[in-house]
C-alpha cells in the first residue's frame, strides 16, 4: 500500500528560524500553522499587518507556545524589502528556511512604485531581492533551504523581455504565467549557483496545484468571487493540501536541491507531494541567466556568496 507524505511527517523543527512571505492566509498560513506546531520560530512576513495579527492569534489559540513574530513586508516595494531585511538582520544571525510564498494573481494592469508590472514585480522581482538580501543569513546556517512557489500556470509562461512592464500590451493571465515561470527558473538557477559555490544551502521550487485560496482576489485580499471563485471552491483542493508541497520542500530529507515539488494527481492539480519533472522541460540555461542578470539590474540586489563573519554565532 502506498504511503502518502502528509503534514504528520513534518519533523521536529525546534531551533529552526523560518521566514514565510504571505503567512497570514492560504498556503502561507497553513505552512505557518504546521511548522509553528513543530516548534519552529516563524517570522510572518505580511503586507496587511492587521490581518497578520489575526492570523497570528488564530495560530496561538491552537498552539499557545508557538514562537511567532509579525513583520511588515510589501514585495511590490523595494524599499519595504530592504527595510524588512535590515530589521531581520538586527534581530537574527541565522535563517534556516526562507519560503517565498506570497503572490498576486491576475490583477488589473498596474505598476509597482518602482515601475514594474505588478505580478512580475511582486511575484518574481520581490522574492529575488528578498532572497538576495537574506542570503548571508542562509549561508550562515547549516543545511538551510530556500523554497520558492511557482504554479502550473508556469507551463504556459514565456519571459517577454521586450514587454516586461506591460507597456506594449497586457493580459492578466499571460503576465501571471510569466511571473510563475520566472519563479521556477529562479529557483533552479539559484540551486545551480549555490552548488557552484559549494554552499550548505539548497533551493527548491514547488507548486500547490489547483488550490482554493484567496490568491485570485486580484490583489485585494478579499475572498475570491465570480466564476473563478466558484470553480475554485468547487474543484480546488483545501489550502492544507495545497500547502503540502511547500512543507515537503521545506522539510523532507528526500529533497536535495533543484527539485520541483507538486501534487501527484492528474495534471498535478491535486494530491500529495512528489517531484515533478516539468522543471527539467522548462528550464533553459541561457534564458535563466538572462533573467538573473536582468533581475539584479532591476532590483539593485547583487548576490554575495561569501559566508558572512557572523556565521559562527547562534
Catalytic center residues: 176
Please provide the DSSP assignment of the chain as one string: -PPPP-GGG----TT-EEEEETTTSHHHHHHHHHHHHTT-EEEEEES-HHHHHHHHHHHHHH-TT-EEEEEE--TT-HHHHHHHHHHHHHH-S--SEEEE-----SPSS-B-TTS-BHHIIIIIIIHHHHHHHHHHHHHTSTTEEEEEE--GGGGG----TTSTTSTT---HHHHHHHHHHHHHHHHHHHHHHHHHTT-SEEEEEE---SB-SSTTSTTS-SPP-HHHHHHHHHHSBPHHHHHHHHHHHHH-TT--SS-EEEE-SGGGSSSSEEE-THHHHH--HHHHHHHHHHHHHHH------SPPGGGG--
Beta strand 17-21 with 97-100 is parallel
Q: How far is CA 108 from CA 6, 211, 256, in A?
A: 36, 22, 38
Amino acid at each position: 500500500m502506498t504511503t502518502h507524505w502528509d503534514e504528520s511527517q513534518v519533523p521536529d523543527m525546534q531551533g529552526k528560524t523560518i521566514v514565510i512571505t504571505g503567512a497570514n492566509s492560504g498556503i502561507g498560513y497553513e505552512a505557518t500553522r504546521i511548522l509553528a506546531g513543530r516548534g519552529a520560530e516563524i517570522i510572518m512576513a505580511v503586507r496587511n499587518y492587521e490581518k497578520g495579527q489575526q492570523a497570528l492569534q488564530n495560530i496561538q489559540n491552537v498552539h499557545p507556545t508557538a514562537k511567532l513574530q509579525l513583520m511588515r513586508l510589501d514585495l511590490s516595494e523595494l524599499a519595504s524589502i530592504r527595510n524588512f531585511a535590515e530589521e531581520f538582520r538586527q534581530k537574527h544571525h541565522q535563517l534556516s528556511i526562507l519560503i517565498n510564498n506570497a503572490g498576486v494573481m491576475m490583477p488589473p494592469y498596474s505598476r509597482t512604485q518602482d515601475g514594474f508590472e505588478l505580478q512580475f514585480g511582486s511575484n518574481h522581482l520581490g522574492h529575488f531581492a528578498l532572497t538576495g538580501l537574506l542570503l548571508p543569513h542562509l549561508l550562515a546556517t547549516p543545511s538551510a533551504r530556500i523554497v520558492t512557489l511557482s504554479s502550473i500556470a508556469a507551463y504556459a509562461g514565456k519571459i517577454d523581455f521586450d514587454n516586461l512592464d506591460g507597456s506594449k500590451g497586457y493580459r492578466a493571465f499571460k503576465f501571471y504565467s510569466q511571473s510563475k515561470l520566472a519563479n521556477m527558473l529562479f529557483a533552479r538557477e539559484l540551486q545551480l549557483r549555490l552548488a557552484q559555490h559549494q554552499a550548505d544551502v539548497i533551493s527548491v521550487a514547488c507548486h500547490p496545484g489547483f488550490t482554493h485560496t484567496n490568491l485570485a482576489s486580484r490583489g485585494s485580499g478579499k475572498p475570491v468571487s465570480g466564476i473563478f471563485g466558484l470553480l475554485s471552491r468547487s474543484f480546488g483542493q483545501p489550502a492544507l493540501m495545497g500547502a503540502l508541497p511547500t512543507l515537503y520542500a521545506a522539510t523532507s530529507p528526500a529533497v536535495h536541491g533543484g527539485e520541483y515539488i507538486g501534487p501527484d494527481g492528474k495534471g498535478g492539480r491535486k494530491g500529495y507531494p512528489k517531484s515533478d519533472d516539468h522543471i527539467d522541460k522548462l528550464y533553459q540555461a541561457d534564458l535563466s541567466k538572462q533573467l538573473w542578470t536582468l533581475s539584479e539590474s532591476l532590483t539593485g540586489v547583487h548576490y554575495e556568496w561569501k559566508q558572512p563573519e557572523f556565521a559562527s554565532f547562534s
